[in-house]
A and B are shown apart, each in its own frame.
Chain A
């Protein structure tokens, strides 16, 4: 534990922040501009993990393990979410023969 956190601390904190902001922005952009639902799900994962990265980095710098505990929770939730999301994708492919989200526009008003 001690070694890992000192290894993390070799890289300055700002770098972690820049990296995760970049990853997060890529995720947001992907969600906004992609129409393929699988790509959107992947972008979602990207955002999750950028947050995880940040949590881990802060946790190490503050010598507070609760941040890392939180990361595990996020991973579990993300796994569950992916299971649900991918099954929706499968059902969508079966029913409308496509993975384009713009086809799913009947739920309105």
Chain B
């Protein structure tokens, strides 16, 4: 009998608070005044955060590595027994703290950002619903509960991207995100079905203990992992399903920060890290993940070089960073991947919120070519944005350095080509981030008629807290080289089984850091020369460009290719079925049945003359015929 974890009974409160917030702000939508909904919603997420912290320390003090809380028996049919259970272990606690902690900050920020919106109450209701779903996603103790959360966040993502639904383009973006996710979800659900078929259970602990019976590279495990990967690729915006994420920037900026940077898009990484035991048995899948992750990281970084919308740059940067996380997963360094999720949640949420602050100040303008010189006008936003930029570029001692450096090290151990490509991606990241920083905050203001001002405290305080986290978040996982003990990775070891354990020599490690740092500083200098000294401003739309930059500006024509390969044939097929089959065959056929029946009726009703003797006769004759029929046949 193991001793129960103290306060474990409070677990259900973690998702319950945001649900309550959703119900209150959603149902009392019309009655709440401005700010009330925001305060309620933020408080609920904050409560969840506090309970998550309590659970974190409770689990730590109990000395156990995990605890399962069964809320009720959900599905029990024959041999199928799926409890509605929540799992508290180091991985889920990490994600819970990110979701509720960063989520609470973004909620608070939204109070200021969404202040003037007329549907602010619906906004907070949907944000709370999202937090609720996301908590279920990370806390579920089996794949089915995870799937509920998975679908829930997909729905909320759709709702929030299309929050300003009066703009048709935003609706289109919302639908695109939903449909792309659906393609991934199909793979995910097939994976769960196959998983259940193979293991007769979907509970994590049971699946993983049974997985030990399978040999590495077993076909069924490979198939399961690939199907789950399809789901993760859709949710985490990897090639080939990444095009929805940049379009998802149609939503309000806090939504981009919460859903499309910090939490939902990392669900795929969480799910793969959670299934690490299965993935370790499928080397083929891991190689696929490496290729996908690396390709996505590079491609999105290249596209990011040419984007001129402040949020689009950040969106492609998110896609690129998600690619790095996938790369880490593919290398079998799951805890490193989750560590990058954590630091990325800090600095990317900060970048988006900072961008929101800038957009707020510029009166809705998102084009970086029209900004500039905001450093003086918005000092807090500038410094927090700078911290995040340094963090994402991987400059020590900011958080991104530790996580990205760790991924690069693992890549070096695996294969020199992977390392070089990953490093190239990191340099590109550095370049487009500093391009963004310089264009927005340095130089002279290029848009007349706008008077930028610093955002209110309710927005700058979350920025400040996030910047502290972005700066110091890396110290959670100091590698042995700097005298640390990789405490974060050690912490995750009980729930995530990493594949690579061998340590590389310190001299190699130092060499790699020196290489990447010197290259990074060169890139920063180059960006400085280009965008500050020479004050180069990206060309306006419509100016002729070289072929290469045209391809990059148009995002490699991926959307056009998809439209040509998938949408056009589908449209054509629908047209064909509608105009030719439906209108020419089915409709007339159905009509004809009615017409024939009606004609028959006009003829046959003449039989009904009102003469009862005839009715009797018909009845008897009918019965006789019937009897004759029965006797003869």
Interface residues of A (CB under 8 A from B): 28, 31-32, 35, 101-102, 104-109
Binds A, one of B220-228, B590-598, B603-611: B603-611
B616 touches A31 (CB 8 A): yes
Once the chains bind, are B613 and A101 in contact (CB under 8 Å)?
A: yes
Residues of chain B within 8 A (CB-CB) of A102 are: 611-613
Q: Which of B609, B611, B616 contacts A32 (CB 8 A)?
A: B616
23 contacts between A and B (CB under 8 A): A28-B620, A31-B616, A31-B620, A32-B613, A32-B617, A32-B620, A35-B613, A101-B612, A101-B613, A102-B611, A102-B612, A104-B610, A104-B612, A105-B609, A105-B610, A105-B611, A106-B610, A107-B610, A108-B608, A108-B609, A109-B605, A109-B606, A109-B608
The interface residues of chain A lying within 8 Å CB-to-CB of B605 are 109
* Pairs A-B, 6 closest by C-beta atoms: A108-B610, A105-B610, A101-B612, A108-B608, A31-B616, A105-B611
Q: How far is the CB of B631 from chain A (nearest CB, A)?
A: 15
Nearest Cβ in chain A — how far from B627, in angstroms? 12
Cα of A32 to Cα of B617 in the assembled complex, Å? 6
Rounded to whole angstroms, the CA-CA distance of A35 and B614 in the bound complex is 11
Q: Which residue of A lies closest to B615 (CB)?
A: A101
Distance A31 CA – B613 CA, assembled complex (angstroms): 8
19 extra A-B contacts, CB within 8 A, seeds A35-B613, A101-B612, A109-B606: A31-B616, A31-B620, A32-B616, A32-B617, A32-B620, A102-B612, A102-B613, A104-B610, A104-B612, A105-B609, A105-B610, A105-B611, A105-B612, A106-B610, A107-B610, A108-B608, A108-B609, A109-B605, A109-B608
Measured CB to CB, the closest approach of chain A to B208, in angstroms, equals: 66
Residue on A nearest B619 in the bound complex, by CB: A31
Query: Given the complex, which residues of A lie within 8 Å of B616, measured CB to CB?
Result: 31-32
**Bound Cα distance A86, B616 (Å):** 19
Residues of A within 8 A of B613 (CB): 32, 35, 101-102
Q: By DSSP majority rule, is chain A's interface helix, strand, loop, or mixed?
A: loop
Q: How far is the CA of A104 from the CA of B617 in the complex (A)?
A: 16
Proximity bits, B561-600, A CB within 8 Å = 1, else 0: 0000000000000000000000000000000000000000
Complex contacts, A32 vs chain B, CB 8 Å: 613, 616-617, 620
A91–B491 Cα gap in the complex (Å)?
96
**Chain B, residue nearest A31 (CB):** B616
Instruction: Give the Cβ gap from B129 to chain A, nearest Cβ, in Å.
Output: 61
Return chain B residues, CB-CB under 8 Å to A31. 616, 620
Determine the chain B residues whose CB is within 8 A of the CB of A106 once the complex forms.
Answer: 610
Residue of B608, B609, B610 with highest tally of chain A CB at under 10 A? B610
What residues of A have a CB within 8 angstroms of the CB of B617 in the complex? 32
> B608 — which chain A residues lie within 8 A by C-beta?
108-109
A35 CA / B611 CA spacing, docked (Å): 11
The distance in angstroms between the C-alpha atoms of A109 and B611, with both chains bound, is 11
Quote the shortest CB–CB distance from B473 to chain A (angstroms).
87
How far does the alpha carbon of A106 sit from the alpha carbon of B612 in the complex, in Å? Answer: 10
**Separation in Å of the A91 CB from the closest CB of chain B?**
16
Q: Distance in Å from the Cβ of B230 to the closest Cβ of chain A? A: 65
Roughly how many angstroms separate A100 CA and B608 CA in the complex, as a whole number? 19
User: Which of B608, B611, B612 is the most central at the interface, judged by chain A CB atoms within 10 Å of its CB?
Assistant: B612
A32 to B616 alpha-carbon distance, docked (Å): 6
* Distance (whole angstroms) from the CB of B21 to the closest CB of chain A: 66
Question: Chain A residue with minimal CB distance to B611?
Answer: A105
* Assembly CA distance A11 to B45 (angstroms): 94
Chain B residue with Cβ nearest A108: B610
Q: How far is the CB of B610 from chain A (nearest CB, A)?
A: 3
Chain B residues with CB under 8 Å of A104's CB are 610, 612
- Chain B residues in 8 Å Cβ range of A35: 613
| Shortest Cβ distance from residue A92 to the other chain B in the assembled complex, whole angstroms | 12
A31 to B617, CA, bound (A): 9
> Closest CB-CB distance, A1 to chain B, in whole Å?
34
Which residues of chain B come closer than 8 Å to A108, judged between CB atoms?
Answer: 608-610
CB contacts (< 8 Å) of B612 on chain A: these are 101-102, 104-105
Complex Cα distance, B610 from A106, in Å, reads: 6
CA of A68 to CA of B605 in the docked complex: distance in angstroms?
Answer: 42
Residues of A within 8 A of B611 (CB): 102, 105
Inter-chain CA distance A102–B611, complex, in Å, is: 6
Q: How far is the CA of A101 from the CA of B609 in the complex (A)?
A: 13
User: Within 8 Å CB of B620, what residues of A?
Assistant: 28, 31-32
Chain B residues in 8 Å Cβ range of A105: 609-612
A101 surroundings in chain B (CB, below 8 A): 612-613
Separation of A104 and B611 alpha carbons in the complex (Å): 7
Chain B residue numbers with a CB within 8 Å of A109 are 605-606, 608
A107 CB, nearest partner CB in chain B, Å: 5
Closest to A29 in B: B620
Q: Bound state CA distance, A31 and B612, in angstroms? A: 10
Cα distance A101–B613 in the bound complex, in angstroms: 8
- Cβ of A47 to closest chain B Cβ, rounded Å: 11
Interface-centre pick from B608, B611, B613, B620 (highest chain A CB count, 10 A): B613
Question: Shortest CB–CB separation between residue B623 and chain A, in angstroms?
Answer: 9
What's the Cα separation between A35 and B616 when bound, in Å? Answer: 11
Give Cα A28–Cα B610 distance, bound, in whole angstroms.
20
> Distance in Å from the Cβ of A40 to the closest Cβ of chain B?
8
Task: Return the chain A residue nearest B624 by Cβ.
Answer: A28
Q: How many Å from the CB of B553 to the closest CB on chain A?
A: 76
Distance, CA A32 to CA B620, complexed state (A): 8
User: Which B residue's beta carbon lies closest to that of A34?
Assistant: B613
Residue in A closest to B605 when the chains form the complex, CB atoms: A109
CB distance from A77 to the nearest CB of B (A): 19
Closest chain B residue to A35 by CB distance? B613
Quote the shortest CB–CB distance from A67 to chain B (angstroms). Answer: 22
CA distance A107 to B610 in the complex (A): 5
Can you name the residue of chain A whose Cβ is closest to the Cβ of B608? A108
Report Cα–Cα, A35/B617, bound state, in Å: 13
Q: How many angstroms between the C-alpha atoms of A107 and B612 in the bound complex?
A: 10
